[in-house]
Structure 1
């Protein structure tokens, strides 16, 4: 049975943000699509459907259908109160990972800086500094 894929319109919105950053690679993940800086995954879009994939369905408390994006934070995610309430959720597999439920009405102006921060968290220091300087 084929795995559910995130809507192309949502993947395209994440793609436009992520591929604007230096040295980013987009690739098909074990499910969905992910964006990496070097070998480190800083953004991952996944479709939850019928409780699959179970780790994502459990973390999001949603059996789907639902499209989610996970990203990294510069500090433990639990230290940022806004990430503890919808549309965010806190997966347990890394202390610095956050998930967000994506819908056609998601606020992409708010999501973009989260993805840039995720990139800067995992990028080599010189690349992260270059991106931070360009965005000031």
Structure 2
């Protein structure tokens, strides 16, 4: 590691009330900034001055980040891609670490842009949060086990 390289560390601190209120639904946290940009002013990470009614938003504090970022540095389903956000980029775009949510294979799979006989949509649109993709994924796993 070079001497002038800056590390960013994210530590999530949650209160019991926040974990009781929300179900676990995301595999990773999508940041609204580029984690590769150096942080020159730690005050830029402060949420206290930027949010109205801070009492409602005090259960998450970004302190810093160090090491790997799951959705950027490790294999992940396409709908959780850090490089190509699912709701902001064409679904057929994928990074070198994306995999098909249905097939569990490296993207693009054989049905990435063209639906197979059993699917109504191409697999690039698959997400655990939309449609019947969870069932299609489970069915595909059962077929592969047989």
- Mark yes or no: TM-score above 0.5: no
RCO comparison, higher one (Cα < 8 Å, 6+): 1
Please state which structure has a larger fraction of its residues in helix.
1
TM-score, structure 1 normalization: 0.28
TM-score (norm 2): 0.27
Higher-Rg structure is 2
